[in-house]
Structure 1
């Protein structure tokens, strides 16, 4: 009887170990390592190009900043695929250019992202865009993306809402990337479709202005904020 119990326990242990190894092998098979896909020299007339300039808050060029473009296809919860498409460094004038070929799969699946050895949260831009999904980017296209390297902070826009009654709020966040900029950047938020939260990276130590609009009441509220470097501040859109 004791032998039968030990034999049964042994078989159960082996079965569990087999299942664990099978799951592990499946996970490893689905988590593709980073693949390098540098084919920019072989896509004349079909290249996608990202160009721009990186400067500091005094307008001086940032030389030697490393930037690269990657394609990502998440596969939750088992990982996904990544292909690094192109890599470069800014020149002495702060200029960069990344040229790469979008494969057929990459045009419809996953997303393309512009990345850096330094967190792009410290590279601020008016558009704030460094990720493009399928349908938002194409071949034989040039995208201009300039950055200002500056201490940053995050403004989290939130609003309360009643279930099944989306808030009718709109907000505009205006800021300058550096005090000497003649123009301001603008980030627009529209709560009417039912979006209750958004995040905006803004320069730290520089005043930003938040305008909250309530269209049905024809009212607008203006508030001046200054965030500290690295600060994450929640801002409630309400009256």
Structure 2
């Protein structure tokens, strides 16, 4: 990586180990460079370590080794609030909504003084505009995912981490939501890491892709040629690359 590329990077990971117990990393030696406005698809079979990695990037788990930089500033791992204040925002796979509060209240509570407004979020999710007074718990699954993304977006993320956007959703809803992730990256300049099981749909909105298998990076590169080579992707998932 050149000095110019390093200056452009929003988040850089080098040799990152992630897991739940010292000496027993689930993800080993992970390298990643995230630049403004780019979407990186983090792919791999169940149990590959993708969610563990996102929790570590978000500071909810301390790293077990390696380094992370936000811009050119080293990041101290395991400090979720500090990392959120610096612009690392996670959309977890359980969405973590306040189900008894309204859509508007969920968005307002997540907002920052002087930051994005509810109306700006609704530009990306107009369907929520008619549901502002409805409790989050009675929304459809697709609407809840929109709200979860909206809660992240209103925090003005520099790096947006999205874990399993499609969890529990019909494929047709996923087809509608994934292009919005692309729009968010393009419109805000945030770098996005997208963990997703719908491989082709994820690759279609991504600039880059990384495939994890058993905690190891087995394949990575621009998304378009990977999407054009399903045999290579299948071999990667099977650990044959």
TM bin (shorter chain): under 0.3
What TM-score does the superposition give when structure 2 sets the normalisation length? 0.23
Q: TM-score of the superposition, structure 1-length normalised? A: 0.23
Higher relative contact order at CA 8 Å, sep ≥6: structure 1 or structure 2? 2
